Copies of this chain bind each other. A is one copy, B any other.
Amino acid sequence: MNALVLGPDGPALRDIPQPSGEGEAQIRLRLGGICATDLELCKGYMGFQGVLGHEFVGVVEAAPAPEWVGQRVVGEINCPCGTCDTCRAGRPTHCPTRTVLGISGRDGAFSERFTLPVGNLHRVPEEVPDEVAVFVEPLAAALRILEQVQVQPTDLVVVFGAGRLGQLCARVLALTKARVHAVDRNRDRLALLPPEVIRGRPEERADLTVDCTGSPEGLSLAASLTRPRGTVVLKTTAHDIAPVPTAPWVIEELTVVGSRCGPFEPALRLLASGAVDPRPLISACRPLGEGVDALEMAANPAHLKVLLEP
């Protein structure tokens, strides 16, 4: 069985045995999406080794709960223990012993077949095609911002970085009817944004800024363009240590909010209704067998989402 495996010498296509995943759903991949995290993992982030991939749409081939068999699904990536203090406090996605699909302690989705607990699965509505459904995970991460920050329709919002995640964050934030700007040096990326997102910096400092630059400098840049008592949402997980001048955060009483995974069902609803159309982000779709090339392609700033099909 083909899989895109990250080993000590980097990513490679390997023939691996079919996973057993006892007590879990067996999923056949239909489409995978390459994310910045996959590229970071290839650089050594998290020290992960194993099958890459956490953005996927697939079909359940076997499951302990038979009603799932044959369903087209997407899946939440965090697999918590369910019994520790963090899980019981209602924060299972932060379970200290969790595994994370293709990121930590668990083989990922860039494989002909893989497994996930049934509790992680969400059925994809018929009207959502594979190439849209594969964006559920990053769209949910963008929606997480709206769970964390109250955005007013009168707010001025700036998203820094119009890459894969920045594109989705700008689209989601624009749903609030706030005035949303997107900032990126790459004009081709800005051109992909829907017309309701304004290209380039506003003249005033913003009520809310979102760092999707993926760069260690993004946080300071975003903070410097946030108004006093405004909020900076931090999406960048750059693993370099960033030199951050924090005295202005105190003087201006900024709030910096780290933001990660979000809700799948609302993301599916936005995709089903067409309120968010992620398809302009698709740069290419490649066979899983060309996964190593596809990773390289995704690392090129000229490209956004590169999809993998088995």
Contact = CB atoms under 8 A, between A and B. Distances in A.
Interface stretch (A27-35, A175-183, A227-235): A227-235
A51 to B, nearest CB: 21
B246 A243 contact: no
Given A246-B234, A249-B234, A250-B235, A229 B259 contact: no
Contacts of A248: 258
A75 to B, nearest CB: 20
Contact of A241 (B86, B244, B250): B244
A224 to B, nearest CB: 13
A22 interface: no
A255 B257 CA distance: 4
Contact of A219 (B85, B242, B246, B257): B246
A219 to B, nearest CB: 6
Contact of A251 (B85, B219, B260): B260
A253 interface: yes
B258 A253 contact: yes
Contacts of A234: 246, 249-250
Contacts of A216: 246
A88 interface: no
A81 B61 CA distance: 68
A257 B238 CA distance: 21
A94 B235 CA distance: 27
Contacts of A236: 246, 250
A174 to B, nearest CB: 22
A252 interface: yes
Interface string A196-213: 000000001000000000
A254 interface: yes
A260 B255 CA distance: 12
Contact of A94 (B94, B228, B237, B247): B228
Nearest to A254: B258
A247 B238 contact: yes
A43 interface: no
A91 interface: yes
Contacts of A252: 94, 258
A237 B250 contact: yes
A245 interface: yes
A166 to B, nearest CB: 14
Interface in A41-76: none
Nearest to A249: B258
A279 interface: no
Max count, chain B CB within 10 A of own CB: residue among A148, A228, A236, A238: A228
Nearest to A245: B241
Interface in A244-289: 244-260
9 contacts: A86-B228, A94-B252, A94-B253, A219-B246, A234-B249, A235-B250, A236-B246, A242-B243, A254-B258
Q: List 3 A-B pairs, minimum CB-CB distance, nearest first.
A: A94-B228, A249-B258, A256-B256
